[in-house]
Structure 1
């Protein structure tokens, strides 16, 4: 198993399945330009080799989240900034339906700021 796969397999269900599904959908949303790398022990997604988003766990909220680069330019009430300068996060609940269209829309919006 590569280090990125190991990251996901250390996570308990149902969060693991949710995050693996999200990972797959992010990579499939733009397979020619979105790549995945492990940085700081976390799965990072890059768009044309520039930071796009990453996945992590919030000890404060006790939930996993997706963090969006250029989040300071995104305006939506579900996104939390909590003192971050350039990032905003979206908490992910493994027991609820994943707002996939919303997440992919945010990714497309961030891509506009990268170009």
Structure 2
């Protein structure tokens, strides 16, 4: 029996599915304290139990993206605020190669917020 997280990925068609699965692997490989979870009907990733980031697909453009929960704490030209006050997103084109170095750099900045205490961990 598949769980909600597996179903989320399997219901997507290529190249979207492959892009989302690659993003999931990149996120999980950044730190041993990052774990996958299902929250708010989407795949979330938690750092030491605190919400860290999530994956989603823009309904209008069908672009996959990573949502950085504490994105308001740092700036990067590829992070977009839109109408969010706390989170920022990074959009991708599922037909193009992922900017892996950039993704890892942004995720590292986000992890550092938790490690330095900017974001409190229980």
- Secondary structure of 1:29's counterpart equals coil
TM score, norm. by length of structure 1:
0.92
Point out where structure 2 has 5 or more consecutive residues left out of the alignment. 116-122
Please tell me whether residue 29 in structure 1 is matched to residue 30 in structure 2.
Answer: yes
Give, in whole Å, the separation in 2 of the partners of 1:104 and 1:77. 14
1:58-115 per-position Cα deviation (integer Å, ceiling 9, x unaligned): 1243311110011112212221100101111011111111011111111111111123
Partner of 1:58: 58
**Higher strand proportion:** 1
- Correspondence 1:78-93 to 2 at 5 A: 78-93=78-93
Structure 1 contact 55–66 (Cα < 8 Å) conserved:
yes
TM score, norm. by length of structure 2:
0.87
- Size of the aligned set, in residue pairs, is 114
Give, in whole Å, the separation in 1 of the partners of 2:44 and 2:99. 20
Give, in whole Å, the separation in 2 of the partners of 1:62 and 1:8. 14
Give, in whole Å, the separation in 2 of the partners of 1:95 and 1:89. 18
Point out where structure 1 has 5 or more consecutive residues left out of the alignment. none
Partner of 1:41: 41
Structure 2 contact 30–108 (Cα < 8 Å) conserved:
no
Partner of 1:2: 3
Q: Runs of at least 4 residues of structure 1 off by over 4 A?
A: none
